[in-house]
């Protein structure tokens, strides 16, 4: 086969997957709206989405997908035809089906084995549901699935043995193993054993990683779905196996016994967890899924991660209107060019021609500005892309938590740079989960507090000034400041006598370490990952503000720049070269008073600024630029902040502030320590944008801060130019 043909096919497949995933998203949104009792148009839309996935999958020969989608479609058709009503249970089943379709498609895309064991289970339920209608059973939801396959399972086993091995980064996505345990505990008699084998030596231990894994035994009349539900939010972040636990009841024949034992080995169920009699007992329901899941789990997880990475960057869908606008702008530009071109003959420059030249130039300026803006708009995407996943999350999570929550989303159309948007998803998920989990109360609590039973969670995005502001607001119980303060005192984050303002106390939730360990109270859970959220937002050049009124709710606002491609910069002169310092990191600039320069331990030069000692970094030395500056006193000290620490940059002169377009140095050269990138100034010359945290690190590597009194020490070391690949 020629490579052209296969590349064409790959391209078509890519489109197919992209569209199918979009279709699934539409399906999901539609189903959720259906449950809320939406208008009749919705069901048609859902139906169409399911139908096109079915059709396209058939074209590419994904038979499994087609059949599955067909069953889903049949069910939808019944709803559309009015043969049945979409009950909550039915919607839940269909949502589950959507999840499975998504996973199967993902596997197809990555060349994995699309034969997921769950497919059969859900398909059986779908078909049962379809038949239920045909048999005239009305709107009754289908019975819980009886697992198909060789061993007919007992309807409900005596309990479950769960092996739960989170991936190292589980905590970063805001999930807490203990919370899962707590939920499991409610399902029945509960016994848990931690596996410490992955735990590294203390000096290698990273506190943000989850090294533990657990074996959990839950006894009691619990369905598999209930157990799976508990883990539904972490399914992608852990290796999970769920095996049925036998009981003395003679539920298994010989086959089951043998299988059960095999499973015991395969899933590495420890003796400590399952007493012998259970261990030997049947695990028939588990046969359907567990063995198949254990082995490829890691592989699947790795692949999933890759999906998210690649898929996010692979392509960009741009609205036709934006392209049209761009075409228009280019058209205008051509007209302007020809208008200016007419002036380019040998005729004398007279008053009339000068006037036309001026008009043409101002038109050119207007055109290029509009062109720049519209190109920037190509990179931006509506916030809705991120917001869309929340109805489902809120729906599932509130159900799981037994809370009634109404989600209000506004400003989905607000546009934001794609790179920022991609990095914003996780922090917002964090905040929403926090609100649901800790902010909003249960219906009873709310009634007792005299609030409407249904809690409100609102997600808002809006442009404000040159920034975009995203708010996550709930009308829950608010932050308990006293408790936060108490906790912080316990952890020695705050001195016992120190008095903090409300805002300062609120900000404690961002303190790293506030979130860790024995964060068992409901409230302190809010600290989980807030540290990470804060850091992520800062890394994007944004700010985060928390406002909370006790008993009335909490609002978290993220303020972010519209783009990372343009930043506000302060031009400084070092030697005869201009450099750009990001305005965000500048605290103040002072004229140096030589009296205040101190040498600390013969190593560090520090500057006494009010009650603070600020290390001095000689930019000229650090950047290898010779300056004509005779004495320290002639220089200026620009105080900048890096990771909460202040640093004084010694510069020769301050120049203007201006917006600069960030250009990559890495594209043609490589990373240079201390430089965040390059930019082109108005005169066409190149200047560098300083990377303040990088400079701080560089200064430390060069033996503390710079020495600036006395003869120059050793020349700055030459960092080898990286042969970057």
Partner 1 sequence: MSEQTPGATDSKSTSNEQLLTFIVNGEEYGVDILRVQEIRGWSNPMPIPNTPSYVKGVINIRGDIVPIADLRERLGLAHRDYGATTAVVVLRVMQGARQRIMGVVVDAMSDVTNVPVADIKPPPDFGEAAGAALAKGIATLAEKMVTILDVDRIFLLPSAAVDAAA
What are the residues binding partner 1 (CB under 8 A)? 577, 622-625, 663-665, 667-669, 672-675, 678, 680, 684-688, 716-721, 723-725
Q: Could you give the CA distance from residue 73 to residue 92 in angstroms, rounded to a whole number?
A: 15
Strands (E), 454-496: 455-464, 467-474
CB of 680 to partner 1, least distance (A): 5
Would you call 115 helix, strand, or coil by DSSP? coil
Q: Provide CB contacts within 8 A for 680, sequence distance 6+.
A: 661, 663, 686, 687
551 vs 575 by CB, closer to partner 1: 575
Q: What is the DSSP letter of 210?
A: -
CB of 698 to partner 1, least distance (A): 8
83 vs 378 by CB, closer to partner 1: 378
CB of 232 to partner 1, least distance (A): 40
Q: Could you give the CA distance from residue 33 to residue 42 in angstroms, rounded to a whole number?
A: 8
306 vs 550 by CB, closer to partner 1: 306
Q: Between the CA of residue 300 and those of 107, 436, 453, what are the distances in Å? A: 8, 29, 41
Q: Provide CB contacts within 8 A for 578, sequence distance 6+.
A: 571, 572, 655, 681, 685, 687
204 vs 723 by CB, closer to partner 1: 723
Other C-beta atoms closer than 10 Å to the C-beta of 166 total 23
170 vs 672 by CB, closer to partner 1: 672
CB of 3 to partner 1, least distance (A): 18
Would you call 688 helix, strand, or coil by DSSP? strand
62 vs 688 by CB, closer to partner 1: 688
- Give the residue carrying structure tokens 């530009």: 333
Q: Provide CB contacts within 8 A for 518, sequence distance 6+.
A: none
Q: Burial letters for 383-401: b for 16+ Cβ neighbours within 10 Å, e otherwise?
A: bebbbbbbbbebbbbbeee
Residue 695 in contact with residue 649, Cβ under 8 Å?
yes
286 vs 638 by CB, closer to partner 1: 638
Q: What share of the chain is helix, strand, coil (3-state, %, to 5)?
A: 45, 20, 35
Q: Could you give the CA distance from residue 514 to residue 534 in angstroms, rounded to a whole number?
A: 13
107 vs 621 by CB, closer to partner 1: 621
CB of 330 to partner 1, least distance (A): 17
297 vs 625 by CB, closer to partner 1: 625
CB of 310 to partner 1, least distance (A): 16
260 vs 569 by CB, closer to partner 1: 569
Q: Between the CA of residue 187 and those of 33, 183, 234, 395, what are the distances in Å? A: 30, 7, 18, 21
HSE at residue 290, side-chain half, CA atoms within 13 A, is 26
CB of 716 to partner 1, least distance (A): 6
CB of 717 to partner 1, least distance (A): 7
CA dihedral 439, 443, 447, 451 (to 10 degrees): 50
55 vs 624 by CB, closer to partner 1: 624
Q: What is the DSSP letter of 51?
A: H
250 φ/ψ sector (left φ>0, alpha ψ -120 to 50, else beta):
beta
CA max distance for the chain: 108
- Give the residue carrying structure tokens 């997880």: 301
The two structure tokens encoding residue 344: 């380019």
Q: Could you give the CA distance from residue 122 to residue 147 in angstroms, rounded to a whole number?
A: 9
Q: Could you give the CA distance from residue 493 to residue 613 in angstroms, rounded to a whole number?
A: 21
389 vs 577 by CB, closer to partner 1: 577
59 vs 337 by CB, closer to partner 1: 337
CB of 531 to partner 1, least distance (A): 33
- Give the residue carrying structure tokens 């005239």: 136
43 vs 572 by CB, closer to partner 1: 572
CB of 322 to partner 1, least distance (A): 22
Would you call 296 helix, strand, or coil by DSSP? helix
CB of 660 to partner 1, least distance (A): 13
CB of 689 to partner 1, least distance (A): 11
The two structure tokens encoding residue 459: 């997600």
For residue 638, what is the enclosing H or E element? Answer: strand 636-642
Residue 192 in contact with residue 214, Cβ under 8 Å?
yes
CB of 722 to partner 1, least distance (A): 8
Strands 159-166 and 586-591: unpaired
Q: Could you give the CA distance from residue 155 to residue 223 in angstroms, rounded to a whole number?
A: 8
CB of 49 to partner 1, least distance (A): 38
Strands (E), 575-634: 577-582, 586-591, 597-600, 604-609, 612-618
Q: Provide CB contacts within 8 A for 389, sequence distance 6+.
A: 425, 429
CB of 682 to partner 1, least distance (A): 12
402 vs 684 by CB, closer to partner 1: 684
């Amino acid at each position: 086969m020629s490579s052209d043909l296969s590349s064409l096919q790959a391209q078509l497949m890519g489109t197919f997957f992209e569209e199918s995933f979009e279709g699934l998203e539409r399906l999901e949104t539609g189903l959720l709206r259906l449950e809320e009792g939406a208008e009749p148009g919705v069901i048609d839309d859902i139906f169409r989405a399911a139908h096109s996935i079915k059709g396209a999958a058939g074209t590419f020969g994904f038979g499994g997908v087609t059949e599955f989608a067909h069953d889903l479609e049949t069910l939808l058709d019944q709803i559309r035809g009015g043969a049945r009503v979409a009950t909550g249970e039915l919607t839940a089943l269909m949502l589950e089906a959507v999840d499975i379709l998504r996973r199967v498609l993902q596997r197809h895309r990555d060349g994995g084995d699309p034969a997921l064991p769950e497919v059969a289970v859900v398909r059986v339920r779908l078909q049962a549901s379809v038949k239920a209608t045909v048999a005239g059973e009305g709107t009754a939801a289908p019975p819980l699935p009886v697992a198909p396959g060789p061993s007919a399972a007992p309807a409900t086993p005596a309990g479950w043995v769960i092996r739960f091995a989170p991936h190292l980064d589980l905590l970063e996505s805001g999930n807490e193993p203990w919370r899962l345990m707590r939920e499991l505990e409610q399902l029945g008699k509960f016994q848990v054993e931690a596996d410490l084998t992955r735990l590294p030596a203390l000096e290698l231990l990273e506190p943000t990683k989850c090294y533990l894994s657990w074996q959990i035994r839950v006894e009691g009349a619990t369905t598999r779905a209930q157990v799976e539900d508990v883990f539904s939010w972490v399914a992608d972040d852990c290796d999970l196996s769920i095996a049925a636990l036998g009981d003395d009841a003679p539920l298994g024949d010989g086959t089951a016994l043998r299988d059960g034992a095999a499973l015991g080995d395969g899933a590495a169920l420890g003796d400590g967890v399952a007493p012998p009699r259970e261990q030997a007992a049947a695990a028939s329901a588990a046969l359907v899924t567990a063995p198949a899941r254990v082995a490829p789990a890691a592989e699947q997880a790795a692949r999933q991660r890759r999906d998210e990475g690649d898929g996010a960057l692979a392509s960009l869908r741009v609205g036709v209107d934006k392209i049209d606008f761009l075409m228009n702008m280019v058209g205008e530009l051509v007209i302007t060019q020809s208008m200016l071109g007419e002036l380019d003959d040998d005729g004398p420059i007279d008053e009339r021609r000068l006037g036309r030249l001026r008009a043409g130039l101002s038109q050119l300026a207007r055109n290029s500005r509009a062109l720049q803006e519209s190109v920037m708009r190509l990179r931006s995407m509506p916030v809705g892309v991120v917001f869309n996943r929340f109805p489902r999350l809120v729906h599932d999570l509130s159900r799981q938590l037994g809370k009634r929550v109404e989600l209000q989303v506004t400003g989905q159309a607000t546009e934001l740079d794609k790179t920022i948007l991609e990095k914003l998803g996780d922090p917002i998920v964090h905040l929403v989960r926090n609100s649901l989990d800790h902010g909003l109360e249960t219906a009873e609590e709310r009634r007792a507090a005299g609030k409407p039973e249904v809690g409100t969670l609102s997600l808002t995005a809006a442009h404000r000034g040159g920034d975009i502001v995203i708010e996550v607001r709930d009308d829950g119980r608010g932050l308990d400041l006293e408790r936060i303060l108490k906790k912080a005192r316990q952890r020695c984050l705050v001195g016992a006598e120190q008095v903090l303002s409300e805002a300062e106390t609120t900000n404690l939730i961002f303190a790293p370490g506030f979130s860790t360990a024995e964060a068992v109270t409901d409230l302190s859970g809010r600290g989980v990952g807030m540290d990470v959220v804060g850091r992520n937002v800062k890394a994007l050049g944004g700010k985060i503000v928390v406002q909370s009124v006790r008993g009335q709710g909490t609002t978290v606002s993220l303020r972010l720049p519209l783009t990372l491609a343009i930043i506000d910069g302060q031009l400084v002169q070092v030697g005869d070269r201009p450099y750009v310092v990001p305005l965000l990191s500048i605290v103040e600039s002072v004229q140096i008073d030589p009296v205040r320069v101190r040498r600390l331990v013969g190593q560090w030069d520090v500057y006494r600024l009010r009650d603070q000692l600020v290390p001095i970094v000689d930019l000229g030395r650090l950047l290898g630029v010779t300056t004509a500056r005779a004495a320290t006193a002639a220089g200026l000290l620009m105080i900048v902040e890096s990771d909460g620490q202040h640093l004084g940059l010694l510069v020769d002169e301050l120049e203007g502030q201006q917006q600069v377009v960030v250009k990559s140095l890495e594209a043609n050269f490589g990373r240079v320590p201390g430089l965040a990138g390059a930019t082109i100034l108005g005169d066409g010359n190149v200047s560098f944008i300083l990377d303040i945290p990088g400079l701080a690190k560089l200064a430390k590597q060069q033996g503390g801060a710079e020495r600036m009194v006395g003869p120059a020490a050793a020349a700055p070391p030459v960092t080898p130019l990286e042969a970057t690949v």
